[in-house]
Structure formats: C-alpha cells, structure tokens
C-alpha cells in the first residue's frame, strides 16, 4: 500500500537516514521533512521530499500543518525525532548543584513541548481510515522504573514527561483517530552528535549506525500491532517499562 511520510526534526542524523530509506522505498510516494534549517543542497538532493522550515513555536507548527493539509495527501507514517542532550553551553547534569533553570527550560521545550505541540496539531491530519504509525523519539533513560543511575536530570525528566504525554494522547487518539498507533521509541546508543561526548564508554558493538536504527524503526512501524495503545519500544522491538 503506497503512503506518504512526515519526518519532524529532519536534520537529526537518524531522521536523515530514515528519509534516505523512505526515498528508496517504492511504496513511499512522498516525504514531508520539517526542520529548523533547510538548506538548498537538501532541497535539490532529494526526489520525493518536500522540506518545510519550522522554528517549533506553536504558530510555526500550525503553519506547517496547514501547508501539509493543503497538499491533501494521506500521511500514514510520522517520525518525531527532536531531542537535545547537550550543546555549547550545557552538558547533562551530574549532581543537584548542576541544575539550572535555562537548561531545564531549553531541554523541556525541545524534547517534550515540541513533540507534544505536533501531536496536538496533527490530530486532524491523521484521522484517515488507513493504519497510521507515529514514532516519537524517546530514550530508555526516560523510564521512571528503570532509573537506577540518577543524573541527567533535564534529559531524563523531559523524556519521562514526553512518555506520559504520549500515553495520555494515545487514550484520546483511540477515541478520535482510531487508526493511529503512538510509539515512544528508544533508538539505542547511536552514532550521532547527540551521543558524541559519551561514546567512549559505550561497549564495543553497542554503538549503532543511524542507518541500522532507521531500518529497525521503519520495520517496526510496518509490523507494530494497531492496538490503540501507546507502546514504549526499543530498536529491537522490545518493550521498555514506563
């Protein structure tokens, strides 16, 4: 069955690998790729992809959704890839004294509020009859029951809150858009700028390529049961405790 896809946070390394694989999928008719930065080279390199610039403010997300709606195509695969862990001015907190307001606010906006604004605005777009999978990139460290190590306060909290928002949204989606499956997805430690500073402690063979993770995710999306419940799944299609 042919389909259109929507990839949000499309400059993520894993997102770019997924877009490439969607481009090569004969069943995929087109990809809307949303990012803060859309370069001319990206626009000219891709055949099926329409790039949409968005600064992730509520109004910008609304504009992007209007544009996507105006194309009147059926979108049945959505990847929401946004996530920050560190940047030039912040690193994950190791101790309580490292907590600061700016880091908490910045991380929560990018990792929690941004995906949730999309889940809210996408509801009318995803109400079609065809089975539709929405993968929102979470992280195992967002599992409250799995937190034995501590630290990484902002990132952990942002992903735990994201997971709760996904669970809660799935309850409403089950009533109002029955053909939508929401998945919180943990890609595993993947070779991207996000994990760069921490890669030296990753055991050999446990650092995945973006291409591998993107393929795993797209395969999972093709086979995941459409059960009207939120799932928290890892790259190997194993459930993670919330």
Ligand X SMILES: NC(=O)c1ccc[n+]([C@@H]2O[C@H](COP(=O)([O-])OP(=O)(O)OC[C@H]3O[C@@H](n4cnc5c(N)ncnc54)[C@H](OP(=O)(O)O)[C@@H]3O)[C@@H](O)[C@H]2O)c1
Task: Report the interface residues with ligand X, using CB under 6 A.
Answer: 9-15, 35-37, 56, 81-84, 110, 114, 137, 139, 186-187, 189-190, 192-195
> Which residue, 4 or 186, is less far from ligand X as judged by CB?
186
Residue nearest to ligand X (CB): 83
* Shortest distance (Å) from residue 127 CB to ligand X: 25
* Shortest distance (Å) from residue 211 CB to ligand X: 12
> Which residue, 67 or 84, is less far from ligand X as judged by CB?
84
* Shortest distance (Å) from residue 133 CB to ligand X: 17
Q: Tell me if 187 sits within 8 A of 14, measured CB to CB.
A: yes
> Which residue, 207 or 224, is less far from ligand X as judged by CB?
207
* Shortest distance (Å) from residue 9 CB to ligand X: 2
> Which residue, 137 or 232, is less far from ligand X as judged by CB?
137
Residue position matching structure tokens 């921490």: 198
Instruction: For residue 186, give the H/E element and its range.
Output: strand 180-186
Instruction: For residue 21, give the H/E element and its range.
Output: helix 13-24
Q: Reduce the DSSP state of residue 134 to 3 states and report it.
A: strand
User: What does the DSSP 8-state code read for residue 112?
Assistant: I
Which residues, including other chains, have CB under 8 Å from residue 49's CB and lie 6 or more apart?
19, 23, 30, 31, 32, 33, 42
* Shortest distance (Å) from residue 126 CB to ligand X: 20
Cα 83-88-93 angle, rounded to 5 deg = 65
Phi-psi region of 208 (alpha: psi -120 to 50; beta: other; left: phi over 0): beta
């Amino acid at each position: 069955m042919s389909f259109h896809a929507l990839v949000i946070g499309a400059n993520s390394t894993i997102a770019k690998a997924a877009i490439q694989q969607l481009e090569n999928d004969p069943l995929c008719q087109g990809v809307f790729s949303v990012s803060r930065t859309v370069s001319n080279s990206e626009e000219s390199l891709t055949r099926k992809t329409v790039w949409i610039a968005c600064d992730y403010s509520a109004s910008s997300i609304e504009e992007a959704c209007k544009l996507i709606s105006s194309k009147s195509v059926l979108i049945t695969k959505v990847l929401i890839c946004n996530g920050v862990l560190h940047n030039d001015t912040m690193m994950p907190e190791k101790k309580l004294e490292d907590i600061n307001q700016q880091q908490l606010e910045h991380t929560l906006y990018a990792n929690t509020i941004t995906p949730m604004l999309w889940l809210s605005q996408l509801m009318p777009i995803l109400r079609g009859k065809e089975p539709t999978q929405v993968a929102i990139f979470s992280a195992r460290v967002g599992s409250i029951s799995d937190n034995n190590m501590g630290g990484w306060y902002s990132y952990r909290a942002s992903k735990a809150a994201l997971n709760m928002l996904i669970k809660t949204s799935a309850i409403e989606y089950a009533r109002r858009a029955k053909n939508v499956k929401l998945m919180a997805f943990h890609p595993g430690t993947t070779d991207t700028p996000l994990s760069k500073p921490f890669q030296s402690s990753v055991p050999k063979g446990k650092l995945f390529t973006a291409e591998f993770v993107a393929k795993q995710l797209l395969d999972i999306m093709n086979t995941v049961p459409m059960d009207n419940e939120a799932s928290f799944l890892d790259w190997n299609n194993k459930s993670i405790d919330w």
